[in-house]
């Protein structure tokens, strides 16, 4: 017999109201545009395996293939296989930094490391200092946890260098952690020794946990090897966690392997213990893929030579395309695969038609199929407007896509 009851949709939890991720949210609009028969040029997700034809080095793939073939697909220890943790520790030793493999946790991508980190340290109402603009996952997860993001500034007029004074202004009495992303997503900035030192000194003075997200640290166009880190400076007295993974430097985003490294562990024993408990509760990271870590860190790094060249060409192509748009400008990135062009909404060629970067990005998408992410998804200085573009597509595609923004000018 058919049920007479009125059908009622089952609702998600209240906390989901605050969960947004601009980088993927734009795809809802993109789908509508595609359904109308307009081909998309997707420049919104930083996935080098999906865009631009970049391939991970064969020796890393072989390490993973062998792990599957050797039936190494049991749960791993929650903190990760010893071989991977030892390889991470050995990589730090190469750069003169002593790390205990027991102070390395292998995670399912840095995304899981960020979740562990914030879950284990931030109570509701407590503050995390993040750059502005920032990679948005930190903010999304803080929203989920009831923590508060407070932003220090990157100064666009100084090629997105750290605005040192803004750190003091951002830190309220409840500040507990400062996150630095170097090289930075979305600006492509590599931070200077002076900026790194400032951050160390500030965290020491205010007793903050310092977190370095270094997922792009081999991708500075004119630097061979990793960019300078706080671990190259004197960080005594500062609880420090550094994070990296296979997604970007080694072109394996779908492997979902990242790691977090605890330094000055005597200053954060409870945090390490809490994160191990979180790792235990989810049983294991992806085991066979963890066999890529030693291969990635200890094998040939030749792929980086061509990759850096390719990325620099693409950054230049974005700058060339933007130069053709009367109401846009861009700081050319120095690393990674993003740029954050600025929009001048008061430019006469726009005739006052737009009051937000979201409106520009959506209208541009509807007219041309070019998919970028509004700057508001990353945080930006009040009164400024931007969009973020992923610089992985071939240079000619990027040049043309950026120049196509001029269709909005009259
Ligand atoms: C700055 C930064 N951190 C962390 C991540 C997450 O990387 P994954 O989870 O693939 O390791 C990304 C991904 O784009 C990123 O840009």
What's the rounded Cα separation, in Å, for the pair 325 and 318?
11
What's the rounded Cα separation, in Å, for the pair 15 and 19?
7
Contacts of 333 (CB under 8 A, 6+ apart): 187, 188, 189, 315, 339, 391
Q: Number of structural domains, the chain? A: 2
Nearest CA to ligand 1 atom 14: 46
In angstroms, the Cα distances linking 39 to 36, 218, 318, 359, 371 are: 9, 33, 20, 20, 10
Does residue 263 share a domain with residue 361? no
What is the structure's pLDDT at 118?
Answer: 98
Does residue 247 share a domain with residue 316? no
377 lines ligand 1 (CB under 6 A): no
Question: Does the CA dihedral 273-279-280-286 come out positive or negative?
Answer: negative
Question: Does the CA dihedral 215-96-100-118 come out positive or negative?
Answer: negative
46 lines ligand 1 (CB under 6 A): yes
Does residue 117 share a domain with residue 216? yes
Does residue 81 share a domain with residue 219? yes
Helix residue ranges, H only, 122-256: 137-145, 164-170, 193-206
Does residue 237 share a domain with residue 355? no
- CA 47-51-55 angle, to 5 degrees, is 80
Between the CA of 342 and the centroid of ligand 1 the distance, in Å, is 23
Between the CA of 28 and the centroid of ligand 1 the distance, in Å, is 21
Does residue 317 share a domain with residue 195? no
What is the structure's pLDDT at 1?
Answer: 57
Q: Are 210 and 180 within 8 A, CB to CB?
A: yes
Does residue 294 share a domain with residue 307? no
Does residue 168 share a domain with residue 215? yes
**Looking at residue 93, which CATH number applies to its domain?**
3.40.640.10
What is the structure's pLDDT at 2?
Answer: 59
183 lines ligand 1 (CB under 6 A): no
Phi, psi of 287 (to 5 degrees): -60, -55
Among 113, 137, 213, 255, residue to substitute to test ligand 1 (most atoms within 8 Å of Cβ): 137
Q: Which of 265, 298, 331 is the last residue of a domain?
A: 298
Among 108, 111, 191, 219, residue to substitute to test ligand 1 (most atoms within 8 Å of Cβ): 111
For residue 159, being part of any structural domain is answered with yes
For residue 1, being part of any structural domain is answered with no
For residue 355, being part of any structural domain is answered with yes
Phi, psi of 243 (to 5 degrees): -135, 145
Between the CA of 379 and the centroid of ligand 1 the distance, in Å, is 17
Q: What is the pLDDT along the chain (410 residues), one digit of tens a residue?
A: 556 778 889 988 888 887 776 667 788 999 999 999 999 999 998 999 988 889 999 999 999 999 999 999 999 999 999 999 999 999 999 999 999 999 999 999 999 999 999 999 999 999 999 999 999 999 999 999 999 999 999 999 999 999 999 999 999 999 999 999 999 999 999 999 999 999 999 999 999 999 999 999 999 999 998 999 999 999 999 999 999 999 999 999 999 999 999 999 999 999 999 999 999 999 999 999 999 999 999 999 999 999 999 999 999 999 999 999 999 999 999 999 999 999 999 999 999 999 999 999 999 999 999 999 999 999 999 999 999 999 999 999 999 999 999 999 98
Q: What pTM does this model have?
A: 0.95
For residue 2, being part of any structural domain is answered with no
Q: Are 178 and 210 within 8 A, CB to CB?
A: yes
Q: What residues make up the domain containing 309?
A: 16-45+303-408
Among 107, 134, 135, residue to substitute to test ligand 1 (most atoms within 8 Å of Cβ): 135
């Amino acid at each position: 017999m058919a049920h007479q009851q009125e059908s009622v949709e089952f609702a998600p939890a209240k906390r989901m109201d605050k969960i947004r991720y601009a980088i993927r949210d734009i795809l809802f609009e993109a789908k509508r545009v595609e359904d109308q028969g307009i081909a998309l040029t997707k420049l919104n997700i930083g996935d080098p395996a999906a865009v631009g034809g970049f391939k991970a080095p064969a020796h890393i793939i072989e390490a993973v293939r062998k792990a599957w073939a050797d039936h190494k697909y049991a749960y791993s220890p929650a903190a990760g296989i010893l071989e991977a943790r030892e390889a991470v520790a050995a990589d730090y030793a190469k750069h003169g930094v002593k790390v205990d493999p027991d102070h390395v946790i292998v995670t399912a991508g840095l995304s899981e490391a960020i979740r562990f980190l914030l879950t284990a340290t931030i109570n509701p109402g407590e503050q995390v200092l993040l750059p502005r603009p920032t990679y948005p996952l930190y903010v999304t997860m803080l929203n989920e946890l009831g923590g508060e993001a407070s932003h220090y500034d990157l100064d666009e007029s100084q090629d997105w260098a750290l605005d040192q004074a803004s750190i003091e202004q951002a830190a309220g009495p409840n500040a507990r952690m400062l996150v630095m992303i170097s090289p930075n997503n979305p600006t492509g900035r590599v931070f200077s020794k002076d900026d790194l030192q400032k951050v160390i000194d500030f965290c020491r003075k205010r007793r903050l946990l310092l977190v370095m997200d270094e997922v792009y640290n081999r991708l500075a166009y004119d630097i061979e090897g990793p960019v300078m880190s706080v671990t190259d400076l004197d960080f005594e007295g500062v609880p420090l966690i550094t994070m990296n993974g296979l997604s970007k430097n080694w072109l394996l985003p779908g492997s979902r392997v990242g790691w977090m490294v605890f330094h000055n562990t005597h200053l954060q024993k409870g945090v390490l213990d809490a994160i191990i408990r979180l790792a235990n509760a989810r049983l294991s990271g992806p085991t066979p893929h963890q066999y890529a870590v030693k291969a990635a860190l200890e094998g040939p790094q030749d792929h980086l030579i061509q990759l850096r060249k390719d990325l620099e060409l693409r950054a230049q192509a974005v700058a060339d395309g933007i130069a053709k748009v009367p109401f846009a400008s861009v700081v050319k990135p120095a690393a990674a695969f993003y740029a954050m062009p600025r929009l001048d909404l008061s430019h006469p060629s726009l005739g006052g038609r737009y009051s937000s970067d979201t409106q520009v990005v959506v209208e541009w998408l509807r007219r041309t199929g070019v998919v970028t992410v509004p700057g508001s998804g990353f945080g930006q200085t009040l009164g400024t407007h931007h969009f973020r573009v992923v610089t992985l597509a071939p240079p000619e595609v990027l040049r043309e896509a950026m120049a196509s923004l001029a269709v909005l000018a009259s």
